[in-house]
Amino acid sequence: MAAKILVVEDDLPTTRLLTISLARRGYEVVAAETAQKALDLIEAQPPALVLLDLMLPGISGLEVLEHLKKGETTSDVPVIVVSANTQIASKEEAQELGADLYLTKPYRLKELVVAIQELLGH
């Protein structure tokens, strides 16, 4: 059974690229363009891993991360933050909230795929 990855990203071209690239590598990909949709999807069925943009409309990605890591059934779900925010404070806050990795946009797709494989134990 394919590992399910939740892509939380409000940029549609980025979401499409990630969805196609990860599906070609055998992952099941579910996408959410808002934090609220991501939270709804996480509650319905926790994914194996979350790719999380921080700058989202409405609720911030950091709030999604905090909710995920405090959840009884989701605290162990690996989270890779992918953000254009290069500020050290943002990276530190994401790490304090439990992010497993923080990649700054633009990142190399290969780097992301290797990180996903490592976090999922593949």
Kindly state the DSSP code that residue 3 receives in the 8-state scheme.
Answer: P
Residues above pLDDT 70, as percent of the chain:
99
Give the pLDDT of residue 14.
Answer: 93
Copy the structure tokens of residue 108: 């190399």
Beta strands at 28-32 and 79-83: parallel, antiparallel or unpaired:
unpaired
Position 6 confidence tier, pLDDT thresholds 50, 70, 90 = very high
pLDDT computed for residue 122 by the predictor = 73
Please give the residue that has the higher pLDDT: either 86 or 8.
8
d(CA 27, CA 57): 26
Domains and CATH numbers, the chain: 4-120 (3.40.50.2300)
Sign (positive/negative) of CA torsion 24, 83, 65, 36?
negative
pLDDT at site 85: 79
Q: How confident is the model at residue 2 (pLDDT cuts 50, 70, 90)?
A: confident
pLDDT at 18: 95
- 113-122: pLDDT as tens digits: 999 999 998 7
| Exposure b/e, 8-42, CB count within 10 A at least 16 = b | bbbeeebbeebbeebeeeebebbbbbebebbbebb
pLDDT at site 78: 97
pLDDT tens, residue by residue, 59-92 = 889 999 999 999 999 999 999 999 887 788 888 9
